[in-house]
Amino acid sequence: MLSNMLIRFPMELQEVLGPLAAEARRARLPLYAVGGCVRDWMLGAPTKDLDFVTESDPLPLIRFCSRKWGGTTERFDSFKTVRCNISSGLRLDFVRARSERYPQPAALPVVRAAGLSEDLARRDFSVNAMAVAVRSADSGELIDPQRGWGDLKRRLLRVLHPLSFRDDPTRMFRAARYACRYRLRLEAGTESLRRDALKAGYALRLSRERARNELVRILEERDPVCALRTIKAWKLSDLLHERLAWPKNIAEGGGSWERLGMIALHLQGSSRASEASEDGLGFVRSLRLERQISRPIEEALRVCARRAAPRERPDPLTRRLIVLMRARLSPAALQPVLISGRDLQGLGLKPGPRYQRILDRAARAQWRGKFADRPQALRWLKVNFPA
């Protein structure tokens, strides 16, 4: 399995890889770096995420990481992965080598312990199926049974077996993401398999949550536009919204949740007036997000649909989304309404249903920039509603 090719580890990682290699030797536990970090090393790209595989229980190495570097530990029981977030900012994932069997299309895999060769053979693409033996601080031998390095040099993205997209249709989303990030093209056989899988409807079997998670990963890219265009061209975007679209400035969003909110606001703005608010809200609700994420996005949609200053100071994400999507908005538009019922009483206006109509009109006027501070707001009130 060794390719006789020595891979130099990045200098900034050697102070972690050296002690890990020494501990693995002491524990007689062969250690391999695998997957995305190896791919990125081959490309000379920086990475903060390191994936490790062992052929027996990696617990001794996990305990060593906690003792040596501190940080936090997370366990993902569904795939028997343990993540160490160490104080230097690196994220180390440890997993025991495994094979996977998919009982039906788009199902989650049935996992069993296996050797390194089977572990590499279960992966999505050849460029992610390389490993490096971690035996010293500065370098290790490349293990490449799936010929990933050759594909990487030819800028090809290739699946490892004919049922790959049938087993896991999320790999089509990942193909779009990797092709755009690394400027790869799908190998001819892989492109044919992708088309066949799409025609067979395997992607339709994905749960809403799994499709959403792939969209979120695309939105985490430095510039997500290429991958968004690709999933739209491949008709994968129909799984998320039949008219999925995004604003031109989506790359300005500061992370996946901001960008998701920008898509929702863009859908709202591009829909017919009769369905505008429901289109954006329906999209967000269909994604089944955690409430702390969906709430500020939904509030941004409501504020923009009302076209009126809010009654209370908006959540920072709500405010940021509206500023990103409404560049010409008055600075006062997102302040809480500057006029209150007490101001109406001060003018001698009798309390009653008219109060709410006046306050609603004031909120719309503030949104349009008719006034920007309290003195201006009170002048507007006196002019438009004399006692």
pLDDT in tens, 31-59: 999 999 999 999 999 899 999 999 998 98
Q: Highest mean pLDDT: which of 84-93, 127-136, 261-270?
A: 127-136
- Report residue 132: phi and psi, to 5°: -130, 130
pLDDT at 77: 61
Q: Is residue 320 part of a domain?
A: yes
Question: pLDDT tens for residues 296-311?
Answer: 999 999 999 999 999 8
Under a CB-based contact definition with an 8 Å cutoff, are residues 114 and 82 in contact? no
* Together in a domain, 279 and 329: yes
Cβ-in-10-Å burial (0-12, 13-18, 19+) of 228 comes to: buried
Q: Is residue 194 part of a domain?
A: no
Q: Is residue 292 part of a domain?
A: yes
Confidence of residue 89 (pLDDT cuts 50, 70, 90): confident
pTM tops 0.85, yes or no = yes
pLDDT at 274: 41
Residue 54: both structure tokens together: 């062992």
Classified as helix, coil or strand, 326 is coil
pLDDT at 79: 56
pLDDT at 218: 98
Question: pLDDT tens for residues 308-325?
Answer: 999 899 999 999 999 999
CATH of the domain at 58: 3.30.460.10
The fraction of the chain above a pLDDT of 70, given in percent, is 95
Q: Is residue 129 part of a domain?
A: yes
In angstroms, the CA 71 to CA 64 distance is 12
Q: Is residue 295 part of a domain?
A: yes
Lowest mean pLDDT across 52-61, 76-85, 274-283, 336-345: 274-283
Contacts of 39 (CB under 8 A, 6+ apart): 127, 128, 130, 148, 152
Q: Is residue 196 part of a domain?
A: no
Domain span holding position 278? 207-333
Confidence of residue 270 (pLDDT cuts 50, 70, 90): low
* Together in a domain, 20 and 104: yes
In angstroms, the CA 63 to CA 83 distance is 11
Q: What is 124-184 written as a DSSP string?
A: SBGGG--EEE--SSSEEEEE-TT-HHHHHHTTEE-BSSTTHHHH-THHHHHHHHHHHHHT-
In angstroms, the CA 185 to CA 157 distance is 6
**How many separate domains does the chain show?**
3
* Together in a domain, 127 and 8: yes
* Together in a domain, 83 and 10: yes
* Together in a domain, 371 and 311: no
Average pLDDT for the chain: 92
* Together in a domain, 211 and 261: yes
Q: Is residue 95 part of a domain?
A: yes
What is the pLDDT averaged over residues 197-201? Answer: 97
Question: pLDDT tens for residues 149-179?
Answer: 999 999 999 999 999 999 999 999 999 999 9
What is the pLDDT averaged over residues 335-353? Answer: 89
